[in-house]
Amino acid sequence: MFPMPSADYRMLFSKSSTLTVAVVVMWLNCSIIFAASTVSYSKSTLGLYDISTFDVYVDGRIIHIIAGGKKTANDQQFSIRYTRSEDGGRHWKNPVTLDIQLSEVNASRGNDIQLATKDKRLVALWQSQGELPGMGPLAGAYSLDNGRTWQQSLNPAGDNDGSQAYIDLIADLRGNFHVVWLEDPDENGYQSLRYARSIDSGQQWSQPVTLDDSTCSCCPNTFALSPKNELSVLYRDMTPRDMSLLQSSDSGLTWRRINTVGNFDWNFKGCPHVGGGLGYIENDDVAQLHSVVWTGVEEKPGLYYLSSSNNGQTWSIPARLGETAIHGDIAALDSRKVFAIWNEMEAEGLSVFYAVSEDGGASWLKPKRLTEAGNAATHPKLVSTRQGVLAMWTEKPSKQPSRLAWQIFK
Amino acid sequence: MFTKIFIIYFFVLLFISIPAQAEKVQLKHFVPGSYQQLLEKNADKPFMLAIWSTTCSSCMEKMALLNELKESRPEINIVMLSTDDVSVSDQIQTVLAKNELAALDNWVFADENAQRLRHEIDPKWYGELPRTYFLNKNHERQGISGALSQEDYETILKVILN
């Protein structure tokens, strides 16, 4: 079970109430046997009033969290805080408030603030609020001292009058930082997948380039880094609205389209607001790529798991996860044990379910509930750590502020 | 698809030109029980429920078409439902006023748990937008995700009105 947080931060990180996830009633020789199992998880607002956006990132043995929300119930000012764990998520450092001047922040769940780290260097990016609803330029900050102090960074898109959203950020093995986002820089009527990189920890960014000039306009993008330092980007294409995979093997200098991840041939003109999950695990010098993708195709909408043993060239037959699953993520503990997590749509709200594969994704055990629907948990994320797989999400029980919640699976 | 210029132009026009009209749009709060209320209010009548959001570019592009539909087919009862947060009601009202949709039955999601509202409308709806439901007089319905064309509307309405 998840240990209690350190005494220093007990006010910030508390254990959740117990959640009964299964009650089995068996009739046996006229007697009733109850067998109940429980799942408990931790939760926090990092000392803020609420949490409306977050990201979690693993670099070596360190787990990093960046999150934003209001300081107080009546406060309109947004605050961003950073914290880290050096023991697999058991204890967390006292959160640091990013002491930079913040313009109005537009980040929210599904269009979240993003964080990437390499050693002592950290970069965070988010969408700020422009003049029009839901639109605004990228903004960001970087730290060169383990997140103790932060400086304002330049907009990688280079256009503070434009609108850039659905950011993802990653650091490669050499310490270069890479960012993708959606933008319509040429005002051609389509959102493009745009990319830039920084070789100085987010202080300056390369000239942005377009990786795909027509994409879905409102779906999150996902980076993954292979053990051989190859960059992969999973994003939702325009036509059809399936998820596509791009890769670069030269640290972002050149890119090539690899394949579609799940050929659902979903033709849709609208806003799904759903991306996918992507993660590598290496075994005997062979990198296995795991993915979850969502499709709204009429005959079989839902969340699907796929894997590739040839770096995305070909993919397994999509395996459906959950009943009415959405907002999925994926992470592998080792070459055999793979975890998938998602939201399940229920009458009382969104709940979080997860499933485990013990054979590298070939088959999946029965999904388990992590949260009650009434907690309105959303957009769960998974990251692999040295101590296990960390699941993290936000939840907002009725009439309570939204908060971070997490659980570690071994 | 229209461009970012279109969207900016659209909103700039909204904000500078019609504040007075915006005040006239009655925006009802869609809460648990509201969908049933809609069905009861429209008992024995066909109607169309158009679900949209200010952050959905495809929805915004089709506002003009909805206005045309309202004008050309006044016999169609169109109900508009915005899934935006109720806190941006001013923007929603402005969009509706600009597109001359203020006279329609206009609603906005007004519950902290949006999934509860979505589920009440349709347990199988994942939240993608735009989403349009066409209900005949017996309230047998067809739900369609994505932007619809004039021809789409005409084809479907012909069916539900018969």
Q: What is the pLDDT of residue A3?
A: 36
Which residues in chain B touch residue A218, judged by CB atoms under 8 angstroms apart? Answer: 55-57
Residue A300's closest chain B neighbor by CA?
A: B124
pLDDT digits (tens, 9 = 90+) for A353-407: 999 999 999 999 999 999 999 999 999 999 999 999 999 999 999 999 999 999 9
Cβ separation B8–A273 shorter than 8 A? no
Q: Quote the CA–CA distance of A177 and A170 in Å, as a whole number.
A: 6
DSSP string over A57-97: EEETTEEEEEEEEESSTT---EEEEEEEESSTTSS-PPPEE
Q: What is the pLDDT of residue A39?
A: 67
pLDDT digits (tens, 9 = 90+) for A242-256: 999 999 999 999 999
Contacts of B87 (CB under 8 A, 6+ apart): none
Q: Which residue has the tokens 């929300």?
A: A69
pLDDT digits (tens, 9 = 90+) for B77-114: 999 999 999 988 998 999 999 999 999 999 999 999 99
- Whether residue A130 lies within 8 A of chain B, CB to CB, comes out as no
Cβ separation A270–B146 shorter than 8 A? yes
Residue B143's closest chain A neighbor by CA?
A: A298
Least confident of A182-191, B44-53, B100-109: A182-191
Mean pLDDT across chain A: 90
Helix locations, B48-147, DSSP H: 57-61, 63-72, 89-98, 114-121
Which residues in chain A touch residue B120, judged by CB atoms under 8 angstroms apart? Answer: 347
Cα–chain center distance at A227: 20
Write the residue in A184, A345, A348 that is nearest to B3 by C-beta: A184
Q: Quote the CA–CA distance of A295 and A243 in Å, as a whole number.
A: 9
Question: What are the φ/ψ torsions at residue A237 (nearest 5 degrees)?
Answer: -80, 170
- Whether residue B32 lies within 8 A of chain A, CB to CB, comes out as no
| A286-315 average pLDDT score | 96
| A183-190 average pLDDT score | 87
Cβ separation B56–A296 shorter than 8 A? no
User: If you compute the radius of gyration of chain B from its CA atoms, what whole number of angstroms results?
Assistant: 15
Q: Which of A347, A244, A348 is nearest to A295 (CA)?
A: A244
Q: What is the pLDDT of residue A1?
A: 29
The more confidently predicted of residues A38 and A406 is: A406
Cβ separation A271–B53 shorter than 8 A? yes
Q: How far lies A138's CA from each of A52, A103, A113, A339, in Å?
A: 17, 10, 10, 32
Q: Which amino acid is at A283?
A: N
Q: What is the pLDDT of residue A108?
A: 92
- Whether residue A301 lies within 8 A of chain B, CB to CB, comes out as yes
Which residues in chain A touch residue B84, judged by CB atoms under 8 angstroms apart? Answer: 133
B127 with B47: CB under 8 angstroms? no
Which residues in chain A touch residue B124, judged by CB atoms under 8 angstroms apart? Answer: 301, 324
Q: How far is B5 from chain A (nearest CA, A)?
A: 7
Write the residue in B57, B88, B112 that is nearest to A271 by C-beta: B57
The more confidently predicted of residues A133 and B76 is: B76
Which residues in chain A touch residue B147, judged by CB atoms under 8 angstroms apart? Answer: 269-270
Q: At what angle do helices B63-72 and B150-161 cross, to 10 degrees?
A: 40
Quick check: A157 pLDDT over 60?
yes
Quick check: B18 pLDDT over 70?
no
Which residues in chain B touch residue A301, judged by CB atoms under 8 angstroms apart? Answer: 124, 126
Q: Please tell me what DSSP assigns to residue A174.
A: T
- Whether residue A299 lies within 8 A of chain B, CB to CB, comes out as no
Q: What is the pLDDT of residue A282?
A: 85
Q: What is the pLDDT of residue A134?
A: 79
pTM recorded for the entire structure: 0.89
Write the residue in A132, A268, A350 that is nearest to B11 by C-beta: A132
| B36-53 average pLDDT score | 96
Which residues in chain A touch residue B118, judged by CB atoms under 8 angstroms apart? Answer: 345
Least confident of A327-331, B21-25, B68-72, B151-155: B21-25
Write the residue in A268, A326, A373 that is nearest to B145 by C-beta: A268
Q: Quote the CA–CA distance of B23 and A358 in Å, as a whole number.
A: 59
Q: Quote the CA–CA distance of B88 and A233 in Å, as a whole number.
A: 33
Q: What is the pLDDT of residue B123?
A: 96
Residue A214's closest chain B neighbor by CA?
A: B1
Q: Predicted ipTM?
A: 0.85
Quick check: A15 pLDDT over 50?
no
Quick check: A17 pLDDT over 60?
no
Which residues in chain A touch residue B112, judged by CB atoms under 8 angstroms apart? Answer: 376, 396, 398-399
The three-point CA angle A217-A377-A294 to 5° equals 40
Quick check: A38 pLDDT over 80?
no
Write the residue in B1, B5, B11 that is nearest to A190 by C-beta: B1
Q: Which residue has the tokens 């402005």?
A: B94
Quick check: A123 pLDDT over 90?
yes
Query: Which CATH number applies to B25-161?
Result: 3.40.30.10
Q: How far lies A222's CA from each of A111, A166, A214, A277, in Å?
A: 12, 9, 17, 7
Q: How far is A213 from chain B (nearest CA, A)?
A: 13
Cβ separation A270–B54 shorter than 8 A? no
Which residues in chain A touch residue B51, judged by CB atoms under 8 angstroms apart? Answer: none
Quick check: A151 pLDDT over 70?
yes
Q: What is the pLDDT of residue A20?
A: 37
- Whether residue B123 lies within 8 A of chain A, CB to CB, comes out as yes
Q: Per the structure block, which two tokens stand in for A278? A: 């992507």
| A266-286 average pLDDT score | 92
Q: What is the pLDDT of residue A2?
A: 30
Q: Please tell me what DSSP assigns to residue A186.
A: T
Domain positions in chain B: 25-161
Quick check: A11 pLDDT over 60?
no
Q: What is the pLDDT of residue A285?
A: 79
Classify burial at B99, counting beta carbons within 10 Å of its beta carbon; exposed 0-12, middle 13-18, buried 19 or more. Answer: buried
